[in-house]
């Protein structure tokens, strides 16, 4: 890590010709970031991703830094990662999707825990469609899934006894994610009554179905989510990915460790095999129960 910092600062001096006070400012920001990584037992820059950047930004905010100061820190780190890509030391930039507006730093769009609670209670569970939507929202928030992963789930992919779901994410990589008691209860209700009423004797392998046994689509779920957001009085723009951001943010704010959150999100930066050599499924389940608001 120290060698990377030194090489980057030399690059700024020799190639960019930056002033000494600017170099000193960059140096302090990067060292502070590297110290944060090391405190979280991350000693390889290749193992960093957007979850770590998010956690770092939350940490800066907790330490009292203004949005303007956090934006400056992020600009520094963004330049650092661009240098690492240029030198072929990493393959992707975890900072590139985080916007920095003129007014300061904009974190990924999330809604509060209280707003999430209201949203999850919105579907009408006296109707089969409402039972389905309630279960889908709980699984989306409870497991931090991508919307494509949610709608492609098969009945066999969920284990209600052991409280986990099996997901095939990007690149067909498999991961096991714990689910909490709320999600378990809602899915159990869906499988026990709502699903058969929606199917009307049409066969389907999919866990969540629409009319005549057709699987739910991403567009169909997104449309339902927008409807529930309006009904629950939430003013912010909400997408399925917003709920995924909430999953990660609420876990990190609650004190969950980065490695567990990375594993549950299934980020491509980190090999599934490498992660599971350090974290057992039982540990992930305990982390989820302890730190997720609906565990």
- pLDDT above 70 as % of the chain: 87
Structural domains in the chain plus CATH codes: 2-86 (1.10.150.130), 113-291 (1.10.443.10)
| pLDDT tens-digit map of 152-181 | 999 999 999 999 999 987 766 788 999 989
pTM (predicted TM-score): 0.63
Query: How far is the C-alpha of 179 from the C-alpha of 203, rounded, in Å?
Result: 26
| pLDDT tens-digit map of 184-197 | 999 999 999 899 99
Contact 262, 270 (CB under 8 A): yes
Confidence tier at 23 by pLDDT (50, 70, 90): confident
Catalytic (active-site) positions: 146, 170, 241, 244, 267, 276
Question: Bigger pLDDT: 71 or 183?
Answer: 183
Name which of 152-156, 172-176, 204-208, 254-258 the model is least confident about.
Answer: 254-258
Q: Whole-number mean pLDDT of the chain? A: 83
| pLDDT tens-digit map of 119-154 | 999 999 999 999 999 999 999 999 999 898 999 999
The reported pLDDT for the residue numbered 283 is 52
Question: Bigger pLDDT: 206 or 254?
Answer: 206
The reported pLDDT for the residue numbered 185 is 95
Residue 209 has φ and ψ, to the nearest 5°, of -125, 160
At residue 89, the 3 state secondary structure works out as coil
Contact 209, 216 (CB under 8 A): yes
Kindly state the tokens that stand for 100. 């920095």
Confidence tier at 274 by pLDDT (50, 70, 90): very low
Query: How far is the C-alpha of 267 from the C-alpha of 51, rounded, in Å?
Result: 9
């Amino acid at each position: 890590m120290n060698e990377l910092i030194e090489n980057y600062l030399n690059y700024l001096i020799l190639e960019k010709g930056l002033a000494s006070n600017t170099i000193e400012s960059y140096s302090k920001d990067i060292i502070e970031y590297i110290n944060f990584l090391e405190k979280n037992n991350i000693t390889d820059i290749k193992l960093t991703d957007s979850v770590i950047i998010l956690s770092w930004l939350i940490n800066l905010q907790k330490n009292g830094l203004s949005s303007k100061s956090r934006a400056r820190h992020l600009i520094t780190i963004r330049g650092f990662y661009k240098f690492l890509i240029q030198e072929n030391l990493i393959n992707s930039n975890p900072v590139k999707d985080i916007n920095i507006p003129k007014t300061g730093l904009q974190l990924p769009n999330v809604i509060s825990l209280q707003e999430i609670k209201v949203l999850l209670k919105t579907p009408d569970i006296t109707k089969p469609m409402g039972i389905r939507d309630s279960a889908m929202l709980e699984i989306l928030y409870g497991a931090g899934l991508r919307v494509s992963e949610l709608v492609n789930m098969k009945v066999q992919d969920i284990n209600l006894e052991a409280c986990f779901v099996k997901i095939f994410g990007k690149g067909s990589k498999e991961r096991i994610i714990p689910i909490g008691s709320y999600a378990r209860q809602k899915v159990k209700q869906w499988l026990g009554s709502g699903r058969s009423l929606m199917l009307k004797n049409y066969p389907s392998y999919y866990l969540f179905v629409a009319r005549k046994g057709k699987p739910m689509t991403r567009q169909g779920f997104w449309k339902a989510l927008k409807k529930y957001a309006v009904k629950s009085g939430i003013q912010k723009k909400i997408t399925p990915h917003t709920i995924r951001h909430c999953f990660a943010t609420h876990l990190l704010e609650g004190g969950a460790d980065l490695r567990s959150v990375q594993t549950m999100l299934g980020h491509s930066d980190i090999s599934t095999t490498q992660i599971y050599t350090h974290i057992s499924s039982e540990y992930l389940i305990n982390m989820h129960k302890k730190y997720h608001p609906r565990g």
